[in-house]
Amino acid sequence: MQVPNKLYSYRESTLALILEVLGRLKQGAVPVRELFTDMRSVLSDPADFLSVMDCLYALRAVDISDEGEVYSCLWK
């Protein structure tokens, strides 16, 4: 997880990416592959996507359905 510091600006941090993913999920459930494809333009490394998803899952902000769709647990 990259947090804002001297090496990483806020825009490059995991915190900024979390907001991007949550904004995308506000529109509804999305297959994991489609979510990754949508986020690819703001990712500097594919591992950043995994960090974001790990953080959101640990915070119980997202979950994944049996069909492989990621959905937000914050808005119902």
Instruction: List pLDDT tens digits, range 46-63.
Output: 999 999 999 999 999 999
Question: Average pLDDT, stretch 18-27?
Answer: 93
Q: Quick one: DSSP state of residue 29? A: -
Residues in CB range of 35: below 8 A, 6 or more apart:
21, 24, 25, 70
Q: What percent of the chain has pLDDT over 70?
A: 97
Tell me the CA distances in angstroms from 6 to 2, 10, 12, 17, one per residue in order: 11, 10, 11, 18
